[in-house]
Amino acid sequence: MSLKILIVDDDIGIRMLLSKYLQRHNFETILAEDGLEGMEIAKKVHPDLIILDVVMPRMDGLTAARLIKFYKPLSEVPIIFLTAKDTEKEIELAQEARAEVYITKPFDVNQVIHVVKELLAQSVSEKK
């Protein structure tokens, strides 16, 4: 059974790039183009990890992360913020939204894969 990763970003190029690389590492990927769609999908499919952009239409990633973490069945799902926003205030807001990792764009895909694997390994061991 492959682990499911929800990728939420309004940039189709980033969604496709991450999806392609994650699938090469045997992860199942589900894609959403904004925070609202991402939150709705998360509630339906219960992903093992979520990668969220911060700035998106309809609902930003910070709001989506807070709502996902507030929703009890998803409260323990690790969240990685992948964003061009890199101010101290943005990082602080991400921490308040209970995101596990904050990666700024442009990013190294291999770094993202490494972080995904680490978070999922921690998540799986905590569930045992």
CA gap 23, 59 in Å, rounded = 26
- What are 11-51's pLDDT values in tens digits? 999 999 999 999 999 999 999 999 999 999 999 999 999 99
For the segment(s) 4-127, the CATH number from 3.20.20.450, 3.40.50.2300, 3.30.360.10, 3.40.1260.20 is: 3.40.50.2300
Q: pLDDT band at 53, cuts 50/70/90?
A: very high
Cα separation, 59 vs 2, whole angstroms: 28
8 Å CB contact between 45 and 23: no
Q: How many residues does the chain have?
A: 128
- The mean pLDDT of the chain is 90
| Structural domain spans, the chain | 4-127
* Angle of helix 12-24 versus helix 109-127 axis, rounded to 10: 60
**Mean of pLDDT values over 92-121:** 87
Scan for tokens 């499919």, then name that residue: 45
